[in-house]
Structure 1
Amino acid sequence: MILTVTPNPSLDRTYEIPSLGRGGVLRATGDRVDPGGKGVNVSRAVAAAGIRTTAVLPLGGAPGALLAELLGAQGVDVTAVSIAGQTRSNISLAEPDGTLTKINAPGPELAPEESALLLETVRTHDGSPAWIACCGSLPRGLRPEWYAELVTRAHEAGARIALDTSGPALLAALPNRPDVIKPNVHELATAVGRPLATLGDVVDAARELRALGAGAVLASLGADGQLLISAEGDRYGTVPAAEIRSNVGAGDASLAGFLIAGGAGPESLASALAHGAAAVRLPGSAMPTPADLRPDAVRVTRDLPLDLPLTEPAAVRSV
């Protein structure tokens, strides 16, 4: 069983539009509403693979109730922590060429007692999860050290931790030794404080984060594939470019694939690549099913082309 924790979940509404123009009336050619939030998406992908999963979520208001209802319909068990604020709603505008414009609401502010209850709910959950995936940005009211505390409590409960966050929250959690972290290349550049232009730069940055406490680093490189740096050995994987319909949640599907396959080694990296590639071919933030995967297209190697220039060099971003 895989447990996910999403401190700032959302309802995600996606509109498919011919083109984005400011100041006019945009007529959508399609629309959908999905449960949103990085950990929520991980649970959805895990459930689509037929594996039991529970999403621990702070939920409030009508959007929170609808989010729980939608997740239940997709086979995800929900453990809700009731909050006074209202769950946020996000909007994505998807153009035919794959360009995506996102409007993310800030979300509610969690009170100290709500924050404490969320932590305690994870610690005392009785599902005996093999992995706990802690994902996404922190809502207002939670300090950057919140994930660090969650990592400690989860380890005390005997679970392994996958952490997918960025900025101060990521750096604060590293000394508490999450088992795997999943930054994208831009988040990795921000974490080490310098631009990353080649695969070798990414390898060096990932090794720095391992030295700070991460057990393994699963780095998403966009069109350039993914990199796994761990004690068991370093691996680099690629998959042929696919026609992008929407990249919302593709990284979350990738993390789900990694954990589904055990969360270590080249097989898990291959599963991560297959799930991420399948997700971009689907509309909105739809998560892939096993029928959507093309595992034969994935290539994983221990020979790292360190001089390979990144298609989109990663600059340091302010957070």
Structure 2
Amino acid sequence: MIVTLTTNPSLDRTIALGEPLRVGEVQAALGAREDAGGKGINVARVVAAASRPTLAVLPLDAADPFAVALAATGIPARIVPHDGATRANVTIADEAGTTTKLNLPGAAFTEADAAALTAAVVAATQGASWLVLAGSLAPGLPDDYYVTVIEAVRSAWGAAAPRIAVDTSGPALAAAVASGHPDLVKPNDEELVELAGRDLDTTVALADAVAAIAADLVPARVGAALVTLGGDGAVLVTDGGSWHGTPPPTRVRSTVGAGDSSLAGYLLAETAGAAPEERLRSGIRYGSAAAALPGTQPPTPNDLSTGEVPVRRLLQQDNPTTGGHRD
């Protein structure tokens, strides 16, 4: 089973435009949709859509309308009672696939709320193969909250504890890498650069520059790194080597949730015993399929492209220390 934790779930409202967003003007929208979102919930939805066991842990007020949207997903969930409305995130997507996203902060946590959520995660992970800690931390949670969860889960289950994947950014990611030693991290290239505190080397290919920075982390501080690069695919770095994969041709409709789907696709392949190259291919296929869907819809196996996903092994190289930041 793949268990996910979302401390800051969101009701994702996606508004579709037929032309680029014109800031400061009035525009007619083609339509809108609402989805139960949050990075961990997105991962769980993809896993469930593949008919694999999953459980989403999240805080929720019993009177929150988000409960209706969550129930509509059909995913198994462990709800931790929490006062306050779930935040609403608004995404504006045009026909070219350009997205503008506005994220609200969410309901605040107390120390008691945090302790209850941690206890729920520990209970949910008994016998699980993976625990995914995903998304921004809710207001009131300390930057090292994911470290607290990691330590609690490993302390409770010892050698039987699940492997742990972390998909977040900023101080929360830095704390998890510094003290939690997760088994997998899934940053994008910009989040990786921020984490490493140095720029990409622009004198080499993007994938090689990303792999060189990630190699500083693997395996000393994390077990593996899956670095998503948008239209340039993804890079996987493990203690056994580094690989770069490129996506099949994709008509992008919304990039929201694409990275979450990549992580889910990777874990689906990993739990099936796939080799690193196939894990990377699966992650890229799922991420591309999500980008081709409107809103925050989870791709199913039927949505995956049958196009080729070339994967090449990257050569080991000295890590660059200078270079420009990729926008």
TM-score (norm 2): 0.89
Contact 2:218 2:239 (C-alpha < 8 Å) held by counterparts: no
1:256 is aligned, of 259, 264, 279, to 264
Listed as ranges, the matches of 1:165-244 within 5 Å are 165-174=168-177, 175-196=179-200, 197=202, 198-210=206-218, 212-244=220-252
Contact 1:9 1:87 (C-alpha < 8 Å) held by counterparts: yes
Superposed CA offset, 1:168-205 (max 9, x none): 11121123211000000000010111221333321121
In structure 1, how many angstroms separate the alpha carbons of the residues matched to 2:13 and 2:231?
A: 25
Could you list the runs of 5+ residues in structure 2 that have no partner in the other structure?
318-323
In structure 2, how many angstroms separate the alpha carbons of the residues matched to 1:81 and 1:224?
A: 38
Secondary structure at 2:311's aligned position in 1? Answer: strand
1:277 is the counterpart of 2:288: yes
In the alignment, residue 191 of structure 2 is paired with which amino acid? E
In the alignment, residue 248 of structure 1 is paired with which amino acid? V
User: What's the CA shift for 1:301?
Assistant: 1.9
Q: Percent identity?
A: 43
Contact 2:38 2:135 (C-alpha < 8 Å) held by counterparts: yes
List structure 1 segments (4+ residues) > 6 angstroms apart after TM superposition. Answer: none
The CA RMSD over aligned residues, in Å, is 2.1
1:135 is the counterpart of 2:134: yes
Secondary structure at 2:124's aligned position in 1? Answer: coil
In structure 1, how many angstroms separate the alpha carbons of the residues matched to 2:303 and 2:101?
A: 25
Shift in CA distance, 286/274, structure 1 to aligned 2, threshold 3 Å? same
Query: What is the aligned partner in structure 2 of residue 66 from structure 1?
Result: 65
1:302 is the counterpart of 2:305: no
In structure 2, how many angstroms separate the alpha carbons of the residues matched to 1:163 and 1:47?
A: 19
Secondary structure at 2:96's aligned position in 1? Answer: coil
- Aligned pairs, number: 309
Superposed CA offset, 1:70-99 (max 9, x none): 333323111111112211011111111111
In the alignment, residue 244 of structure 1 is paired with which amino acid? V
User: What's the CA shift for 1:212?
Assistant: 4.7
Query: What is the aligned partner in structure 2 of residue 82 from structure 1?
Result: 81
Secondary structure at 2:128's aligned position in 1? Answer: coil
TM-score (norm 1): 0.91
In structure 2, how many angstroms separate the alpha carbons of the residues matched to 1:22 and 1:239?
A: 32
1:286 is the counterpart of 2:294: no
Query: What is the aligned partner in structure 2 of residue 27 from structure 1?
Result: 28
Listed as ranges, the matches of 1:117-136 within 5 Å are 117-125=116-124, 128-136=127-135
Superposed CA offset, 1:5-46 (max 9, x none): 011110001010123223333321111000111111001111
In structure 1, how many angstroms separate the alpha carbons of the residues matched to 2:326 and 2:251?
A: 26
In the alignment, residue 47 of structure 2 is paired with which amino acid? V
1:111 is the counterpart of 2:110: yes
Could you list the runs of 5+ residues in structure 1 that have no partner in the other structure?
307-312
Secondary structure at 2:95's aligned position in 1? Answer: coil
In the alignment, residue 107 of structure 1 is paired with which amino acid? G
